Structure 1
Amino acid sequence: MINYWPLAGIAIVVIGFALRFNPLLVVVVAAVATGLLGGLDVVAVIEALGKAFNDNRYISVTWIILPVIGLLERHGLQQRARAMIEGVRGATMGRLLVLYLLFRQVTAALGMKDIGGHPQTVRPLVAPMAEAAALKSHGDLSEAEREQVKGMSAATDNVGLFFGEDIFFAIASILLIQGVFESYGYPLTPLQLSVWAIPTAICAFIIHGGRLLAFDRKLGVKAPEVRP
């Protein structure tokens, strides 16, 4: 006979959140209740909680990094990034984002996929620098154009990571593809799959790089002023 009592932990979470109790307390109570109702003793439940915390302790690093980035932004990180790019001769939004695309793809291909990202790189550094380069090259921009520059910055990070990480043979997606092929009788090594990801990454770089340069040129085409 199936024991449905351990599912009471779900009800505890729902009720606790609905009543706006402390989330950490609700989760701990639900976990303890699930373990006890599942037949474990108190010591076994505490051991399971301790092991889960120890195995996933690296997740807490995120909560340290994000406040640091916020503190840097509060003290002028974006303004410093804009000032730096304004002092670089010949810097344009298109060239800057193409270089970042190359950097993102190469580092992701080497397994360093977390070296960039929207919260830690795009928002505080890449987007302000791209916006400053666009202002330097094309003058004042409308609000819609500024948002497009920010969107292109975020898209560049996405494209670089997505098509670069598959070149790294130890990434989860490569291992998943290998498992699917092997289940159908096609034994392939992760390295073989990674090699075939290189042409796709090159095409992605050329296509998105062309889009970035075309968008930069588009910003440079200003509508003629209409004089009364």
Structure 2
Amino acid sequence: MNYWPLLGIAIVVIGFALRFNPLLVVVGAALATGVLAGLDLVAVVEALGKAFNDNRYISVTWIILPVIGLLERYGLQQRARAVIANLRGATMGKLLTVYLLFRQFTAAIGMKDIGGHPQAVRPLVAPMAEAAAEMSHGTLAEEDREKVLAMSAATDNVGLFFGEDIFFAIASILLIQGVFESYGYPLTPLQLSVWAIPTAICAFLIHGWRIRALDRRLGRAAR
């Protein structure tokens, strides 16, 4: 057997250990592996180009990061806080509970990328939750402020994780189906999605209680 192509793995390990540019390390390892495997250099470059062209849509998602950065620079978080300040009766508990429901519902119908930490929690949900908590309980201590921000991020995680399994065309459902089928339990994705609904309801109730409990603790600390 020809073990020379395995040198590509060594290139990756050494390159990352020496903290070289990851892109150069990966491309160099791919070129070395292809050439050492007996492929023509042009064919290796063609394969890299085809793979990049087939998956170029993945890079489009990174465009949102500088967009969010520009919006934050020009006051997106401040505007989010101002919106909450103008709402009567707004509390952190109510706001995050509504966002949890929104996140679960949108994930359940396949719109799992409509929220998320960089595009929703950091610029919108967390500042609004913090503003709502300050409206209800006054100026927050730094530790309490961090708890509000952490609960905002956790709410997004719980809503997505337990909501997306209701959507039968999601990768996790297909993985579960494949595992069950390999053990002799043929189930359809729809059957698995239906059984994910009780779990999602329990997750909503439990995390909703955690949100309200934090809101109450902040209220007691403010007294």
TM norm. shorter chain > 0.5: yes
TM-score, length basis structure 1: 0.92
Write out per-residue CA displacement over residues 205-226 of structure 1, whole angstroms, 9 at most, x where no aligned residue. 11111111121122111365xx
Report the more deviating stretch, 67-76 or 104-113: 67-76
Secondary structure of 2:113's counterpart equals helix
Q: 1:176 to 1:21 in 2, by over 3 A?
A: closer
Unaligned stretches of 5+ in structure 2?
none
CA–CA separation in structure 2 for the residues paired with 1:116 and 1:163: 14
Partner of 1:181: 180
| Contact 2:96 2:211 (8 Å CA) reproduced | yes
Report the more deviating stretch, 6-15 or 125-134: 6-15
Partner of 2:220: 221
- CA shift, 1:61, in A, is 1.4
- CA shift, 1:27, in A, is 2.5
Partner of 2:159: 160
Count of residues in correspondence between the two structures: 223
Secondary structure of 1:91's counterpart equals coil
TM-score, length basis structure 2: 0.94
Q: 1:223 to 1:59 in 2, by over 3 A?
A: closer
- Aligned-residue sequence identity (percent) comes to 83
Q: What amino acid does structure 1 have at the position aligned with 2:84?
A: I
Secondary structure of 1:39's counterpart equals coil
Q: What amino acid does structure 1 have at the position aligned with 2:60?
A: V
Unaligned stretches of 5+ in structure 1?
none
Q: 1:193 to 1:15 in 2, by over 3 A?
A: closer
Deviation >3 Å, runs of 4+: 13-23
Report the more deviating stretch, 38-47 or 215-224: 215-224
Write out per-residue CA displacement over residues 157-191 of structure 1, whole angstroms, 9 at most, x where no aligned residue. 01100100000001111111111211222211100
Q: 1:38 to 1:193 in 2, by over 3 A?
A: same
Q: What amino acid does structure 2 have at the position aligned with 1:143?
A: E
Partner of 1:106: 105
Write out per-residue CA displacement over residues 87-124 of structure 1, whole angstroms, 9 at most, x where no aligned residue. 11111000000000000000000111111111111111
- CA shift, 1:10, in A, is 2.5
CA–CA separation in structure 2 for the residues paired with 1:92 and 1:223: 14
Partner of 1:69: 68
